[in-house]
């Protein structure tokens, strides 16, 4: 395990830090991470309040060629700081996005009206929430309700879909699309009851809540893994939490097992296309798209598997952008003290996208889509939506061809 | 889960690995690049040193011993590789200028000059006749850039300071991407009514399209304008890396930016797959041929133990010229420490010698005898050997 002592002070992490670029109050990953770590003592109260300005994009850790766990050091310092100091109300609210989401989707028309009405925005300002960013819209029918098994009975692949809060509460339609896509490719898909992965709680300094959520999910996932299921996630931040934070930060005993058996949904699809269902027909999608890589997909280190699927779609021209953080970083950008940082980063990322003149924006992360859809004015889609559109087109073409033959 | 099989897998995402993968992809091979972290290129000046040890790089190279990697590539190979590099940079929107036949001198932040060969267009006017007058622009609070160093060495020069609102090179560069910031800066600059022939700024003039920023400033004030590369974090180095990465992605090369390679699968004399550590489950990448471009000691391609040097991925035999006590000269800056010659020896086809692996090629600063520091040939050697090794690899594949 590489630690702060292996840092050679090359500054490659600093070159990649979005917050350092726009907020002079943040000293950057090298100083906030390995440098300051030498002075952080267990028995001493933290004084580094700026450590909370880090948005945990993990770009520093990906960039470090010496394997220093830069953002993990910073996360642990954030948690230590939060344990020792009272957190503001907004942190508590976001630490509990799951409960917020659950409540939101039960009464979604009301929540949507509340989060967008002028008066509510004023109240949110008082509570420490940024008010000029689009708030997520909650859908009436969340994915968790009406969950069931799908797919062929005798299929060899068994997958358990961890959809997380955003798809569960805000975009269950995308979740259902992914479920149908996987079962269409021959998987047996289950969507069990699940809670928040715990990342929002970690990001807001509440390790206890994070652990509570994580333990519950871990118990459930391991049960499936033991029955031969593969865990699949679509939200790249949930995915990173499962495979990295469960074993490394929350130190769950099941963490390693989960990390070993968890796959990005497009990694799985790509594998199905290569091995199980090679003759699937992709229909033409004549579009130029900008594919904004979420920081946490980059941090997973598995490459960009959805881009590998896009290559198979005729007519689709994909341009990959992986150098910018959208600035929202989960709930980070919704906090008043980070509002300017989030705006500046959103603008920077959006101008890089707009310079390519795409017709559509694609990203795996709901927060990226919300933020960059807002700043670019482009329609923002999940990769699965494009894949499904192409497969639907391919399927109709195929059936028409069949009809003509017979 | 079984993996996707690539024609070629390049290990190491520095200049040599990137140029190797671009060469392979241009020949139609399905290529993957795996790497651990960002390469030293991001810390560099962004300028391509081909052979700065002499004024004329190509004639300097002609005089090298036959076992130097440049000699294995040959003059035509070097020139072709550099022009392929220039084409790529043109496509990436980060145009380079220069001629492999002749080096140029560019100004450094301490007022001295650095000899190099290809430079980003933003530094095209940095090779300045000594009788011209220079005006340096610095920024309020910027670290490691003191214009006084320059003006004390150049009699005909002076400087002014602009407040960009942020003190870091990265912060200022991000500001220059914003058209309204640039306009305000130009208005201020015009107000100075600079009488000097040329205007020099630290290399912070944007991250997206710096060549246009320089041109816009130059047109507005009617002077030749150029950038001076700074200490790391280095914007021109970062631009170079990101531009190369963008082209790779546009050309369908799959990138796995993970951690180190943890294991290698061999079947007799053939490497079949490598596994790299990631944040979660390790990732297996399968290929028909492999190119090793993991760099030298600084990047971890080579690792120096107490008295031996190890190659870190395949455990290839490493050439070490002398005993441990003679690795270094007592005078650090004397130029030329024997340990610089250490590395992986390759044959004419860039296959590591005595490796007992048939589908492996090596390129870049990991190669033996390259002496990058004393000959000043960093990126140039990476470009030339990267392209050459990939060409051999392509021949092996087809
Ligand atoms: C501070 C500095 C400044 C420089 N400035 C200049 C300059 O201005 N101009 C110039 O021409 N040259 C310069 N050089 C020299 C030049 O940068 C290098 O010689 C050249 O870029 C080397 O390229 P490379 O591809 O061989 O290796 P590198 O760029 O070193 O790339 C190797 C890559 O492989 C990865 N890697 C290593 N081990 C593993 C592993 N086990 N698994 C996976 N990946 C691995 C590394 O992380 C790295 O990304 C400079 C060098 C340094 C150190
Ligand atoms: S990239 Fe790694 S080694 Fe370099 S300064 Fe950052 S933490 Fe240290
Ligand atoms: S995690 Fe992101 S914001 Fe935090 S220090 Fe690293 S690069 Fe900067």
Kind plus residue range of the DSSP H or E element containing A319? strand A317-321
For residue A108, the model assigns a pLDDT of 55
Predicted confidence at residue B275, as pLDDT, reads 94
Q: What is the DSSP letter of B48?
A: B
How confident is residue B155, by pLDDT bands cut at 50, 70 and 90? confident
Instruction: Give the closest residue (by CA) to ligand 2 atom 2.
Output: A64
Task: Give residue A142's pLDDT.
Answer: 47
The domain segmentation of chain A, as residue ranges, is 4-84, 279-391
Distance from CA of A111 to the nearest CA of B (A): 36
Strand partners, B285: B274
DSSP E strand boundaries for chain B: 5-11, 31-36, 96-97, 104-107, 113-116, 119-120, 134-139, 157-162, 198-202, 224-228, 254-258, 261-267, 270-276, 283-292, 302-304, 309-311, 360-362
The answer to whether the Cβ–Cβ distance between B254 and A308 falls below 8 Å is yes
- Report yes or no: A26 at the B interface, CB cutoff 8 Å: no
Choose the closest CB to A302 out of B238, B246, B283.
B283
Whether chain B has a CB inside 8 Å of the CB on A276: the answer is no
More confident residue, B129 or A118: B129
Give the residue on B whose Cα is nearest the Cα of A8. B298
Ligand 3 centre and the CA of B279: distance in Å? 16
Question: Does an H or E element contain A94, and which?
Answer: helix A89-95
The pLDDT of residue A112 is above 60:
no
Q: Using CB atoms and an 8 Å cut-off, which of residues 261-320 of chain B contact chain A?
A: 276-281, 283, 299-300
Residue of A nearest to B236 (CA): A15
Shortest Cα–Cα distance, A193 to chain B (Å)? 23
* 3-class secondary-structure state, position B286: strand
Task: Kindly report the CATH class assigned to B109-228.
Answer: alpha beta
Distance A63 CA to ligand 2 centre (A): 8
Share of chain B above pLDDT 70, in %: 99
Ligand 2 atom with the smallest distance to the CA of A8 is: 3
The CA A333 to ligand 3 mean position distance, Å, reads 14
Report the pLDDT averaged over residues B211-228. Answer: 97
pLDDT of the residue at A144: 47
- In this prediction, residue A131 carries a pLDDT of 47
In the reported structure, the alpha carbon of residue A30 is separated from the centroid of ligand 3 by a whole-number distance in angstroms of 9
Euclidean distance between CA atoms B45 and B233, whole angstroms: 10
Ligand 1 close to Cβ of residue B275 (< 6 A): no
| Distance (Å, whole) CA A171 – CA A190 | 18
Of chain B, the end-to-end C-alpha distance in Å amounts to 28
What is the H or E stretch that residue A264 is in?
strand A262-264
| pLDDT higher than 80, residue A149 | no
Query: What is the rounded distance in angstroms from the CA atom of residue B371 to the CA atom of residue B288?
Result: 31
In whole angstroms, how far apart are CA B202 and each of A45, A176, B121, B155?
A: 40, 52, 14, 19
Cα(A170)–Cα(A66) distance, rounded to whole angstroms? 39
Measure the CA–CA gap between A136 and A264, rounded to whole angstroms.
23
Q: What is the DSSP letter of B122?
A: G
**How much distance in Å is there from the Cα of A202 to the middle of ligand 3?**
15
Q: Which atom of ligand 1 is found nearest the CA of B366?
A: 26
* Neighbour tally for A153: CB within 10 Å: 6
Grade residue A146 by pLDDT with cuts at 50, 70 and 90: very low
Q: Residue A309 carries which DSSP code? A: H
- Between B23 and A165, the more confident residue is B23
Answer yes or no: do B252 and A311 touch at CB < 8 A.
yes
Q: Name the pLDDT band for B126 (thresholds 50, 70, 90).
A: very high
Q: What is the mean pLDDT of residues B320-327?
A: 87
Residue of chain A with shortest Cα separation from B1? A271
Name which of A289, A91, A79 is nearest A204 in CA terms: A91
CB B380 within 8 A of CB B57: yes
User: Encoding tokens for residue A290?
Assistant: 């900008």
Task: Go through B268-295 and write b for each residue having 16 or more CB atoms within 10 A of its CB, e for each that does not.
Answer: eeebbbbbbbbbbbbbbbbbbbbbbbbb
Could you say which of A65, A243, A307 has the minimum Cβ distance to residue B38? A65
For residue A152, the model assigns a pLDDT of: 46
Quick one: which of B187, B203, B42 has its CA closest to B121? B203
Name residues contacting ligand 2 (CB within 6 A).
A 7-13, 30, 34, 63-64, 66, 68, 70
Give CA A370 to chain center in angstroms. Answer: 12
pLDDT at A365 over 60: yes
pLDDT for A134 beyond 70:
no
CATH number of A279-391: 3.40.50
Measured distance CA(A382)–CA(A388) in Å, rounded: 10
Closest residue to atom 7 of ligand 2, CA basis: A7
Nearest-angstrom CA–CA distance, A348 and B208:
10
Interface size, chain A vs chain B, as Cβ–Cβ contacts under 8 Å = 132
Determine the pLDDT at residue A122: 53
Max Cα distance, chain B (Å): 72
- Spatial contact of A378 and A350, defined as CB atoms under 8 Å apart: no
The answer to whether the CB of A77 falls within 8 A of the CB of A48 is yes
- C-alpha B30/C-alpha A313 separation (Å) is 17
Residues B334-359 have a mean pLDDT of 92
d(CA A302, ligand 3 centre) in Å: 20
Residues in a beta bridge with B362? B292
State the distance from the centre of ligand 1 to the C-alpha of A40, rounded, in angstroms.
33
Closest residue (by CA) to atom 4 of ligand 1? Answer: B44
CB interface of A with B, residues 332-351, below 8 Å: 344, 347-348, 351
CA A207 to chain CA centroid, nearest Å:
19
Residues of A in contact with B232 (CB under 8 A): 10-12, 15
Kindly report the CA angle at B389 between B384 and B390, in degrees rounded to 5?
100
A288 contact B CB<8A:
no
Domain B2-96+238-397: what homologous superfamily?
A: FAD/NAD(P)-binding domain (3.50.50.60)
Residue of A67, A311, A323 with shortest CB distance to B260: A67
- d(CA B373, CA A375) in angstroms, rounded, equals 46
ipTM of the complex: 0.92
Instruction: Name the residue at shortest CA distance from atom 7 of ligand 3.
Output: A17
CB contact under 8 A, A10 and B258: no
CB A77 within 8 A of CB A37: yes
Which residues does residue A361 pair with via DSSP β-bridges, in sequence order? A290, A380
Ligand 2: atom nearest CA of A70 is: 7
Between A212 and A274, residue with greater pLDDT: A212
Q: How far apart are CA A212 and CA A195, in angstroms?
A: 10
Instruction: Write out pLDDT tens, residues A284-335.
Output: 999 999 999 999 999 999 999 999 999 999 999 999 999 999 998 877 877 8
State yes or no: pLDDT of B328 exceeds 90. no
B178: which DSSP letter?
S
Does the distance separating the beta carbons of B281 and A243 come in below 8 Å? yes
- CATH 3.50.50.60 residue spans of chain B: 2-96+238-397
Degrees to nearest 5, angle at CA A19 with A13 and A23 = 125
Q: Which ligand is nearest to the CA of A53?
A: 3
**Average pLDDT value for chain B:** 94
Give the pLDDT of residue A244: 93
Residue with tokens 């061999």: B266
| 3-state secondary structure (DSSP) of residue A289 | strand
Determine the pLDDT at residue A154: 47
Domain boundaries for CATH 3.40.50 within chain B: 109-228
Does residue B233 have a cis bond before it (omega within 30 degrees)? yes
pLDDT in tens, A367-402: 999 999 999 999 999 999 999 999 988 876 666 555
Q: Are strands A360-362 and A288-292 parallel, antiparallel or unpaired?
A: parallel
Provide the pLDDT for residue A96: 60
B65 touches A at CB < 8 Å: no
B232, A307: Cβ pair inside 8 Å? no
Residue A149: count of CB within 10 angstroms of its CB: 13
CA nearest neighbour of B292 among B11, B38, B1: B11
Cα(A19) to centroid(ligand 3), Å: 7
Region B192-211: mean pLDDT is 94
Residue in B344, B301, B303 with CA at minimum distance from that of residue B36: B301
Closest by CA position to A243, among listed A219, A259, A266, A226: A259
Query: Could you give the CA distance from residue B350 to residue B392 in angstroms, rounded to a whole number?
Result: 7
Q: How far is B164 from chain A (nearest CA, A)?
A: 12
Ligand 1 close to Cβ of residue B288 (< 6 A): no
From CA A90, how far away is CA A110, in angstroms rounded? Answer: 20
Residue A366 dihedral angles phi and psi, to the nearest 5°: -60, -40
Short-list A133, A333, A165, A314, CA closest to A238: A165
Question: Domain A4-84, CATH 3.20.20.10 — does that match?
Answer: no
Tell whether ligand 1 has an atom less than 6 A from the beta carbon of residue B20. Answer: no
Task: Please work out, in degrees rounded to the nearest 5, the angle formed at the alpha carbon of residue B374 by the alpha carbons of B101 and B334.
Answer: 135
Q: What's the mean pLDDT when you consider all of chain A? A: 84
Q: What pLDDT does A332 receive?
A: 82
Decide if pLDDT at A132 tops 60.
no
Total Cβ atoms within 10 A of residue B189: 21
- Short-list A351, A362, A348, A374, CA closest to A135: A374
The mean pLDDT of A24-34, rounded to a whole number, is: 94
- How big is the CA angle at B254 (ends B249 and B257), to the nearest 5 degrees? 100
Share of chain B above pLDDT 90, in %: 84
Task: Confirm or reject: Cβ of A60 under 6 Å from ligand 3.
Answer: yes
Q: Which atom of ligand 3 is nearest to the CA of A61?
A: 6
Minimal C-alpha gap between B174 and chain A (Å):
7
Q: State the average pLDDT over residues A60-82.
A: 92
CA distances from A313 to A309, A310, A379, A402, B180 (A): 7, 5, 19, 21, 40
Give the tokens for residue B240: 């170079």
Token pair of A201 as six digits: 């709680």
């Amino acid at each position: 395990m590489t630690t702060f002592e292996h840092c050679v002070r090359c500054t490659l992490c600093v070159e990649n830090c979005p917050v350092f670029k726009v907020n002079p109050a943040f000293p950057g990953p090298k100083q906030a991470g390995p440098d300051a770590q030498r002075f952080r003592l267990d028995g001493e109260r933290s004084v580094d309040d700026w450590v909370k300005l880090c948005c945990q994009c993990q770009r520093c850790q990906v960039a470090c060629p010496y394997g220093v766990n830069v953002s993990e050091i910073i996360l642990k310092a954030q948690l230590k700081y939060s344990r020792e100091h009272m957190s503001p109300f907004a942190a508590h609210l976001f630490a509990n996005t799951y409960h917020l989401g659950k409540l939101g989707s039960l009464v979604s028309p009301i929540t949507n009206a509340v989060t967008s009405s002028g008066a509510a925005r004023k109240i949110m300002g008082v509570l420490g929430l940024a008010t000029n960013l689009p708030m997520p819209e909650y859908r009436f029918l969340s994915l968790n309700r009406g969950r069931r098994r799908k797919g062929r009975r005798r299929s060899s692949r068994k997958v358990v879909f961890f959809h997380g809060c955003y798809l569960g509460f805000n975009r269950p339609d995308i979740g259902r699309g992914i479920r149908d896509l996987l079962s269409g490719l021959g998987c047996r898909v289950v969507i069990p009851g699940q809670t928040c992965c715990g990342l929002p709680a970690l990001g807001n300094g509440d390790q206890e809540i994070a652990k509570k959520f994580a333990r519950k999910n871990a118990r459930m996932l391991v049960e499936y893994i033991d029955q031969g299921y593969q865990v699949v996630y679509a939200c790249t931040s949930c995915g990173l939490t499962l495979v990295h934070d469960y074993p490394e930060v929350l130190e769950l005993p099941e963490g390693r097992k989960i990390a070993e058996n968890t796959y990005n949904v497009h990694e799985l699809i790509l594998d199905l296309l290569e091995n199980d269902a090679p003759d699937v027909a992709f229909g033409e999608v004549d579009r130029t798209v900008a594919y904004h890589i979420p920081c946490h997909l980059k941090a997973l280190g598995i490459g960009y598997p959805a881009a590998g699927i896009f290559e198979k779609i005729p007519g689709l021209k994909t341009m990959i952008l992986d150098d910018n953080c959208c600035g929202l970083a989960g709930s980070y950008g919704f906090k008043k003290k980070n509002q300017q940082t989030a705006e500046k980063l959103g603008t920077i990322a959006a101008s890089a996208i707009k310079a390519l003149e795409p017709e559509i924006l694609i990203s795996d992360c709901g927060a990226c889509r919300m933020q960059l859809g807002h700043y670019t004015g482009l329609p923002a889609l999940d990769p699965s939506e494009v894949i499904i559109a192409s497969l639907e087109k391919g399927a109709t073409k195929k059936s028409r061809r069949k009809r003509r033959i017979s | 889960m079984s993996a996707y099989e690539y024609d070629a897998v390049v290990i190491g995402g520095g200049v040599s690995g990137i140029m190797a993968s671009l060469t392979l992809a241009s020949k139609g091979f399905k290529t993957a690049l795996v790497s651990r972290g960002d390469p030293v290129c991001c810390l560099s000046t962004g300028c391509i040193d081909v052979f700065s040890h002499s004024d004329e790089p190509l004639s300097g190279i002609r005089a090298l011993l036959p076992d130097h990697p440049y000699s294995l590539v040959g003059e035509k190979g070097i020139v072709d590789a550099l022009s392929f590099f220039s084409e790529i940079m043109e496509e990436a929107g980060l145009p380079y200028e220069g001629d492999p036949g002749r080096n140029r001198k560019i100004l450094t932040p301490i007022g001295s000059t650095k000899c190099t060969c290809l430079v980003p267009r933003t530094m095209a006017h940095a090779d300045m006749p000594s009788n011209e007058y220079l005006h340096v622009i610095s920024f309020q609070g910027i670290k490691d850039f003191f214009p006084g160093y320059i003006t004390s060495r150049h009699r005909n020069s002076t400087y002014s300071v602009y407040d960009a609102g942020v003190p870091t090179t990265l912060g200022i560069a991000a500001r220059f991407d914003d058209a309204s910031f640039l306009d305000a800066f130009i208005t201020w600059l015009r107000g100075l009514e600079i009488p000097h022939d040329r205007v020099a700024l630290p290399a912070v003039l944007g991250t997206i399209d710096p060549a246009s920023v320089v041109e816009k400033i130059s047109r507005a004030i009617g002077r030749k304008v150029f950038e001076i590369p700074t200490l790391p974090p280095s914007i021109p180095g970062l631009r170079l890396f990101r531009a190369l990465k963008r082209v790779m992605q546009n050309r369908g090369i799959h990138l796995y930016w993970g951690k180190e390679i943890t294991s290698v699968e061999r079947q007799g004399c053939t490497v079949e797959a490598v596994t790299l550590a990631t944040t979660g489950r390790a990732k297996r990448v399968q290929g028909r041929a492999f190119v090793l471009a993991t760099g030298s000691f600084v990047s971890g391609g080579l690792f120096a133990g107490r008295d031996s040097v190890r190659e870190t991925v395949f455990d290839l035999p490493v050439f070490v010229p002398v005993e441990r006590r003679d690795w270094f000269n007592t005078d650090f800056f004397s130029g030329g420490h024997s340990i610089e010659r250490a590395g992986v020896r390759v044959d004419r086809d860039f296959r590591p010698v005595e490796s007992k692996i048939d589908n492996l090629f090596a390129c870049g600063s990991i190669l033996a005898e390259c002496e990058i520091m004393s000959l000043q040939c960093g990126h140039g050697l990476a470009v030339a050997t990267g392209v050459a090794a990939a060409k051999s690899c392509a021949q092996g594949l087809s």
